[in-house]
Structure 1
């Protein structure tokens, strides 16, 4: 019977002092999750409601913020349940699906930022062709690809994991991520190679494309008028801040999570929770404060709420 339980369930061992602080963890994470959802959804609603924001750049921002909510929802609900549970368990199939969803949404953000970079490149460098190059069908294609391509590539890893024999059933983390690689009886070379391919296709190439387009934008803006330089800075800076933040997050996940067993449990838990909260919470504040048009509507909304 014990063997059957071990085969069926995976235990999360990354939690710290659950018996003492479980309710504190729950209240803090639940509050942050609600804040993530509300802040992202508020800006998405503003973009939907106001017709002056019905432009490709703001459509991509709305998609990015929706992606942040989905990303958080792939982690936090299960985490909240675990905080209130006597034992923090999952089974293998849901664990693989959670990890797949988590990384699908994380890598989708790189493709959405690539679409934003292309939009800004066309706007600044080829303004006369903007309406033609950034038509509604083009924007729709970019959005579909941003979510469909990572989903298809990550589904390949799901299939491969389902065919790998597992001998270990304890995860050092608090949710399913790259640590599921440590559950294998023997490290799979195919899975390792496929993981590198995904990292190159969905992270490295989009990042290089974004850096290339923004370098071109900065060079052209530098030779242009002050008005063009100001416009380029106002629209590109938020995207670059999000890219830097997202790149740091991926570096943390690839490097630190893999060496998580060598970190003190308190440090590992703190960094993991920070990683799952900081990025989706930062996005709406960056776009809400740095994007002039969104900020204007946001201030108007708050002024109406204070008068009620």
Structure 2
């Protein structure tokens, strides 16, 4: 295992005899106007696990925009901590610099961070920094690389139609899409927006049908309101939840019936209960087998 920044920091603390009594763990994930990236949060998990193994009591300050109701920089009492530890990201800007004034009674440490400007007050306010880069010390592996993580959730391709004005007053696209995306936001899955539209001048879109089919094969499940989202997912053996966005049913419903695909939801019934039912089925062995059978037709 690499000697990461947290391990190095703990070694230094042991050598100095300045062992934290109670520590507040912070990072860019703590700022309301910051951002919580996957790397930042994994780095936090790595550091938290290391602190727990060392027997150091610690809490995490979260942005209320990312985790509403959790402990935040606004609700925390600085006097309850003797140490503040900032992890991951650049030591730069007024948000980081403000920590030094707010937690002036704490010993302030940073680990696994980038030092852009050594003279920046955001940097100079820390008593000790174990950087991943930007100092005279050799670069260290990023904390996220070895962080503990749970089981990986399914990857869901999301293919939605926003047009189809030809259906006039029967269009329910806005309501159906809002229901689907609101429901997906609460699912433990990796959501990947996809579009059946091809283009050679837009890097975000596939340029050939084969590229799109390759994308479909990477998904564990597809959720779509488009006919070809249904057709091409099944062609690649990927289970699909098809929601018809047209009141009374239109081409999506017709195609699902034509190929005998059961996971079909009409425009008036995309409730969470119904979507959850088909989600569980699509990710089950039965759903995967049914999709595989369609791919062999």
Q: TM-score range by the shorter chain?
A: under 0.3
More helix by share: 1
Please, what TM-score do these two structures have when normalized by structure 2? 0.19
More strand by share: 2
| Higher relative contact order structure (alpha carbons within 8 Å, sequence separation ≥ 6) | 1
Larger radius of gyration: 2
